[in-house]
Structure 1
Amino acid sequence: MADTLPTRSATDLFSDPIDSQPLWFKKSSFLQPEFDSEAYISDLRTLVSFDTLRSELQTHLASLKHELIDLINRDYADFVNLSTKLVDVDGAIVRMRAPLTELREKILGFRESVESTLVAVQNGLRQRSEASAAREILELLLDTFHVVSKVEKLIKELPSVPADWSNGDVNSMARSSLNNGISLQHAENETNLRETQSMLLERIASEMNRLKFYMAHAQNLPFVENMEKRIQSASLLLDASLGHCFVDALEHRDATAIYNCLRAYAAVDNTRNAEDIFRMTVVLPLIQKVIPQSGVVSGASGDELADDYQQIEQHIVKDCKFLLEIASAENSGLHVFNFLANSILKEVLTAIQKGKPGTFSPGRPTEFLKNYKSSLDFLAHLEGYCPSRSAVAKFRAESVYIEFMKQWNIGVYFSLRFQEIAGSLDSALIAGSLVPVQKLPSGPGNSQDLILKQSVTLLESLRSCWREDVFILSCSERFLRLSLQLLSRYSNWLSSGLAALKTGNAGRNPGFEWATSAVPEDFVYVIHDINCLVTEVCGDYLEGVLQRLSSCSTEVLDLVKQSIVQAGKSLSDLLPLVMNAVIEALTEKSVEDLRQLKGITATYRMTHKPLPVRHSPYVSGVLRPVQAFLYGERAATYLTGEIRNELLRGAAFAITGHYYELAADLVNVARKTESSLQRIRQGAQRRAGASSDVMDNNVSDTDKICMQLFLDIQEYGRNLSALGVKAVEIPAYCSLWRCVAPPDQQNAINV
């Protein structure tokens, strides 16, 4: 079997090989390390069916088995002889096991030795660490003891002080005089003693700072707990001595002693005590001189702060500036103090709250605003003592500064101003008619002053939003919104009134009664005021607003300008509506005279009047309302020539359109009536036996009516020309001409 080789049949020589596989079946895929059967089947699923794949896999399996048999047959002799060559295998295993066992024993012994040595080293390191920690604690305790002793020794070196220093009574310290039992005879000796004491206190404060560090790292230790009384006693003595020295230095304005005391306060992190001492010793007496707290001053005049702030600023320059300069000196290390906020501003706030509580009440908006602006100026004055922007930011972040600003309820103030400003405009707009606030000028011209009370109130309200005694920069966006709301309210009042007038519902809506009671001459005031308001809002008013907001960025100013200009444009967009209302009113009056042309039919129907030779009397009155309006005193005074021409053309076009509708309807009715009568007449003639070919050569009634209308529109065209309107430019007039003109004059309009 080992020597047999697979043979191929004759058919295999001329066909595909037996082991040939399709192109999609690759044997190498099974040999890849990351081969995944599920992914392999999923990929081939789109190419072949499961039956085909199973068939190919079975064929491949058979091929692998066949190759395995070939390999075994090829080395079969060596495989059989393998068992005969394995001689004394057990003996070889025993010989190999002995040295391996010996090697294992040696490794185990060495491992035990290393482990014991490691345990010994670890124990030694732990003992060493414990000893080091104990030594550190011992050194810390020794240092703590030495520092406490040193502090107590330094305190004893201080000059003797009154017994009540230990309770921190700063006022009693201020009244005490520093002495060492020896009466100082000269100011120079007193100054030297004060400087020496301040230097010694600074040194003690530095040691106390070290002591706090040691105590923070040696908490809950019996030794330290036993020393707490000594530490507290030393701390109280230090605070009392430092407070007395600081008070004495402030009274004598000893810059060196003050500097040393402040450094001592900074060293023990007790800046608040220094700020309180300065407030009570220096600031409080000064503020009480300006704003007494013993009795509350009532009344509007008593609550004003401008003069008080001015006096306080003078006192600051005179009595506080020296300390502020010391604390703000460059590289002094005293930036931790904030005497501006925690000493000066805090005392000022307390004095105002107790002595002038009505100052913060927005119930009197004018006085409230004066005090608020004075307070902002005072804060700006205090910020002038800050040496840098970071110092200003720190000053504004202090709780006292925030509390001071909270006292000024700007929201309530704006609400009161809103009610005041918006309420005045609403009161003016709910009036039942358009009320002029000034007499008409006697001579012609174009007045630039507002006429209607509603318009005057709007402009006053708009200006009130930005007046010096009303506007607050922090509420600038609210006042801008209020200004735009005022303009929108006025525009809505006009547009809604005109819309109600057009629909005939003006009387049903409160506030729009003015629309029904207004005559065309009243709308002259409206047109004039709209023009004046647009000019003012987009001109001087806008410049004034931008001037108020000059401190804002360019982007903000551009947005403000766009919003106000847009509001002015919305107001100017109402002009066409008002002018249309005037045109409709004038047209309605003129149409009343035009309705008289219906009498022309009765004049020539079934009568024997000859052809007319002159126009009808009603024609002269058609344009009389327009002429009276345009050449009246109000229009001549308050309307520009451009607006008057626009009103004239609009009225002329509207009236002519109505003229054409009435005339065309009249002519159509006349012609239909004439046609009906003609048919009746012809039927009567046929029944009487008369010839139907007999024609009536007389002029018909329709021709007479058309001739009369033709004469009327010629006169109407001349009247238009007299007012400055070319009749040929009106499409309705041309249509009317072609409707009534004789055939030979249809295309030749001659007015």
Structure 2
Amino acid sequence: MAVDPIQTPPPPPPRSNTYLFSDPLDSHPLWFKPDLFLSPNFDSDSYISELRTFVPFDTLRSELQAHLTSLNHELIDLINRDYADFVNLSTKLVDVDSAVVRMRAPLLELREKIEGFRGSVESSLVALKNGLEQRSEAAATREVLELLLDTFHVVSKVEKLIKELPSVPADWSNGDVNLAEKNVVSNGSIENGTNVRETQSMLLERIASEMNRLKFYIAHAQNLPFIQNMEKRIQSASLLLDASLGHCFVDGLEHRDESVIYNCLRAYAAIDNTSSAEEIFRTTVVAPLVQKIIPHGPSGVAVGTSGDGLENDYQEIKTCINKECKFLLEISSAENSGLHVFDFLANSILKEVLSAIQKGKPGAFSPGRPTEFLINYKSSLDFLAHLEGYCPSRSSVTKFRAEAIYNEFMKQWNVGVYFSLRFQEIAGALESALAATSLIPVHNSHSGHWNSQDLTLKQSITLLESLRSCWREDVLIFSCADKFLRLTLQLLSRFSNWLSSGLDARKMGNTSSNSGYEWAASAVPSDFLYIIHDINCLVTEICGGYLDDVLQLLSSCSIDILDLVKQSILQGGKSLNGLTPLVINAITESLVDEAVKGLKDVKAIATTFRMTNKPIPTRHSLYVSGLLTPLKKVYIIFFACNCCITL
């Protein structure tokens, strides 16, 4: 039996020289004593100087770094161990109470210093605010004082300038005459009078500019007692300025002195009193001219007028405006003149014309006489267009149309009532024609220049005349074009409905005397041929020349609107043309009914030859002619009407 040899353990690893002859790895050299760092008298410089005699710097540095690393590890371990206490600031931490006591004293001291600094800052801020408020009050008071002083100086200056004006403003208009009495040469007197007027107008313009400043000052200090005490002086100066400026402006208008008028208008614009200048021009220049053309008494009663026509009156007014008013309009509309705030066209000329018409010819605005009303209305539009011709720009035209008197003038023309009367007139004529109990053929009827003689029935002729009446020059008002277009379509629809309803009533047998469709019961095939002929003529005219005339009248409208108008009229013609098959069916039914009446004689043929000894017939029976007679009549009328209809 064999015995296993005993295995000896492996030999230990060889030991290094450091393990045999040096200190352990976790120990420090004898010369390195960490406890010295905790000494209250520790001095790093002394410590290093003592060791440098026998310890190299590299060795010392490595030992210090190793010691620092070990301290960091210990600190981390300490924090991890007491982490909850650090977070919660627990009193379990070592020496926390003493640390709190040590920190409280400087914090309290810091708080006291901060509170003291805050108090000083707040007191300084309050003092600064008070100083600023006092300065602001002083500045406001000074501003008010300066404003009052300026107001006083301006009032005094205005009063002084007003005293330089003539005491009797009426003397200005006779200034040239008085000077002529003093001077022998009349030309020199006129020149001196012109200089006086121009000087006065320049002085008034200067006063007006000062009054404008005065209004500005009053607007900023109107509640102050000082201003209230000066209110009477200010009102007195304002009244004197208005009176003096008015007399000077009238004098300039009478002599047509452009410089005087220009200065006066600038003065009116400066004091924002354009309405006074417009009213003076209206009463001084425009009113006498219009009074001669449209005379009327002071109570508004017409004096010596014949009729309410305005066309001739407008022509005379245009001539007067060109002669007597054009010079002022050119002055007020001059470029860069600053006088565009005036609107003499509306507030002087148009206002006076409207007033004269209302007093002298109030019947001109009445739509009860549509023909005269339309003439006056179109003449008024032409007159307004003539006034707009004096406007220098599009903006001036827009401003003119936006004036209140312009809108008031346009409101006088009640075009809605006018259209209602025309509607009753046009639609009533068609209704009267359609109310007839039978179709009325009209041969060789010449009703105007629209070739209405091609139509054969009175109802068709009336329809075409009504359609043309909607767009006649002596009927149409362009602002009501949409209403007249609607009336056109209503007329077409009414005629189509009248025709289709009559055919339906004939087919259903409902043609009593009170149904309104008696014409359908009494209609014969020849009447239906007339209807087809007229439908063809109407459709050709409506979709051809009539449509072209309407589009020509509306040529100023946009393309989209013209397209809608065209489509609507074509649709009306199409609906009318769609009635042709119904009329053809009515002709067929009528011919059949008349032909059937002749077939009653067929029953007697067999009896005649069976009961008698008559010879064999050599010609057609009488019933044959009875069957063909209705067709023969229709055939003759068909070619007489020259219609291309396939039955």
TM-score (norm 1): 0.69
Q: Secondary structure at the match of 1:303?
A: coil
Instruction: Tell me what 1:412 maps to.
Output: 417
Counterpart contact for 1:174–1:244, Cα < 8 Å: no
Matches of 2:83 and 2:366 in 1, distance apart?
A: 116
Residues 246, 447 of structure 1: alpha-carbon distance in 2 compared, 3 angstrom cutoff: closer
One-letter code aligned to 1:257: V
The farther-off stretch of 129-138 and 535-544 is: 535-544
Counterpart contact for 1:306–1:374, Cα < 8 Å: yes
Query: Of 528, 534, 538, which aligns to 1:533?
Result: 538
Instruction: Tell me what 1:120 maps to.
Output: 127
Instruction: Tell me what 1:147 maps to.
Output: 154
Deviations 1:493-540 (A, max 9, x none): 111111111111112553311111111122222222222212221222
Matches of 1:348 and 1:388 in 2, distance apart?
A: 23
Matches of 2:126 and 2:323 in 1, distance apart?
A: 76
Instruction: Tell me what 2:441 maps to.
Output: 436
Instruction: Tell me what 2:391 maps to.
Output: 386
Q: How many angstroms does 1:437 deviate by? A: 2.7
Question: Are 1:226 and 2:233 counterparts?
Answer: no
Q: How many angstroms does 1:557 deviate by? A: 1.6
Counterpart contact for 1:447–1:638, Cα < 8 Å: no
Query: Of 223, 246, 250, which aligns to 2:249?
Result: 246
Q: How many angstroms does 1:629 deviate by? A: 2.2
Q: Secondary structure at the match of 1:292?
A: coil
Q: How many angstroms does 1:449 deviate by? A: 2.0
Deviations 1:589-622 (A, max 9, x none): 22334455566887999x9x9xx99997367337
Q: How many angstroms does 1:155 deviate by? A: 1.2
Counterpart contact for 2:370–2:422, Cα < 8 Å: yes
Q: How many angstroms does 1:98 deviate by? A: 2.4
One-letter code aligned to 2:625: G
Question: What aligned pairs does 1:324-343 form with structure 2 within 5 A after superposition?
Answer: 324-343=329-348
Query: Of 514, 517, 526, which aligns to 1:512?
Result: 517
Question: What aligned pairs does 1:463-474 form with structure 2 within 5 A after superposition?
Answer: 463-474=468-479
Instruction: Tell me what 2:633 maps to.
Output: 629
Query: Of 102, 111, 115, which aligns to 2:109?
Result: 102
Matches of 1:374 and 1:78 in 2, distance apart?
A: 105
Seq. identity, %: 70
Instruction: Tell me what 1:481 maps to.
Output: 486
Instruction: Tell me what 1:264 maps to.
Output: 267
Q: Secondary structure at the match of 1:506?
A: coil
Matches of 1:84 and 1:583 in 2, distance apart?
A: 124
Counterpart contact for 1:300–1:367, Cα < 8 Å: no
Counterpart contact for 1:161–1:179, Cα < 8 Å: no
Counterpart contact for 1:590–1:621, Cα < 8 Å: no
Q: Secondary structure at the match of 1:344?
A: helix
Instruction: Tell me what 1:282 maps to.
Output: 285
Deviations 1:136-157 (A, max 9, x none): 1011111111111111111122
Instruction: Tell me what 2:499 maps to.
Output: 494
Question: Are 1:199 and 2:206 counterparts?
Answer: no
Deviations 1:230-274 (A, max 9, x none): 111111111111111100000011111111110110000000000
Q: How many angstroms does 1:377 deviate by? A: 0.4
Matches of 1:506 and 1:299 in 2, distance apart?
A: 60
Question: Are 1:617 and 2:621 counterparts?
Answer: yes
Matches of 1:425 and 1:83 in 2, distance apart?
A: 111
Q: Secondary structure at the match of 1:219?
A: coil
Give RMSD over aligned pairs: 3.2
Q: How many angstroms does 1:392 deviate by? A: 0.8
Matches of 1:475 and 1:434 in 2, distance apart?
A: 34
Matches of 2:436 and 2:84 in 1, distance apart?
A: 125
Counterpart contact for 1:424–1:457, Cα < 8 Å: yes
Residues 360, 176 of structure 1: alpha-carbon distance in 2 compared, 3 angstrom cutoff: same
Q: How many angstroms does 1:415 deviate by? A: 0.7
Q: Secondary structure at the match of 1:387?
A: coil
Q: How many angstroms does 1:556 deviate by? A: 1.5
Unaligned runs of 5+ in 2: 1-76, 184-188
Deviations 1:294-329 (A, max 9, x none): 274599951000000000000000000000011111
Matches of 1:174 and 1:467 in 2, distance apart?
A: 60
Instruction: Tell me what 1:129 maps to.
Output: 136
Instruction: Tell me what 1:736 maps to.
Output: none
Matches of 1:535 and 1:455 in 2, distance apart?
A: 13
Q: Secondary structure at the match of 1:335?
A: coil
Q: How many angstroms does 1:630 deviate by? A: 3.7
Question: What aligned pairs does 1:606-685 form with structure 2 within 5 A after superposition?
Answer: 617=621, 620-621=624-625, 623-632=627-636, 634-640=637-643, 642-643=644-645, 646-647=646-647
Instruction: Tell me what 2:363 maps to.
Output: 358
Residues 125, 531 of structure 1: alpha-carbon distance in 2 compared, 3 angstrom cutoff: same
Instruction: Tell me what 1:315 maps to.
Output: 320
Question: Are 1:208 and 2:211 counterparts?
Answer: yes
Q: Secondary structure at the match of 1:349?
A: helix
Residues 388, 86 of structure 1: alpha-carbon distance in 2 compared, 3 angstrom cutoff: closer
Question: What aligned pairs does 1:67-106 form with structure 2 within 5 A after superposition?
Answer: 89-106=96-113
Q: How many angstroms does 1:636 deviate by? A: 2.1
Matches of 1:105 and 1:349 in 2, distance apart?
A: 88
Q: Secondary structure at the match of 2:456?
A: coil
Query: Of 166, 170, 179, which aligns to 1:159?
Result: 166
Unaligned runs of 5+ in 1: 1-71, 163-172, 648-751
Deviations 1:38-60 (A, max 9, x none): xxxxxxxxxxxxxxxxxxxxxxx
Deviations 1:114-142 (A, max 9, x none): 11111111111111000000011011111
Matches of 2:278 and 2:83 in 1, distance apart?
A: 106
Instruction: Tell me what 1:673 maps to.
Output: none
Matches of 1:378 and 1:511 in 2, distance apart?
A: 49
Q: How many angstroms does 1:588 deviate by? A: 1.7
Residues 299, 318 of structure 1: alpha-carbon distance in 2 compared, 3 angstrom cutoff: closer
Counterpart contact for 2:249–2:261, Cα < 8 Å: yes
Deviations 1:569-590 (A, max 9, x none): 1111112211211111112222
Counterpart contact for 1:349–1:404, Cα < 8 Å: yes
Q: Secondary structure at the match of 2:307?
A: helix
Counterpart contact for 2:303–2:360, Cα < 8 Å: no
Deviations 1:342-366 (A, max 9, x none): 0000000000000011111111111
Matches of 2:283 and 2:171 in 1, distance apart?
A: 10
Question: Are 1:559 and 2:564 counterparts?
Answer: yes
Instruction: Tell me what 2:550 maps to.
Output: 545
Q: Secondary structure at the match of 1:621?
A: helix
Residues 96, 449 of structure 1: alpha-carbon distance in 2 compared, 3 angstrom cutoff: closer
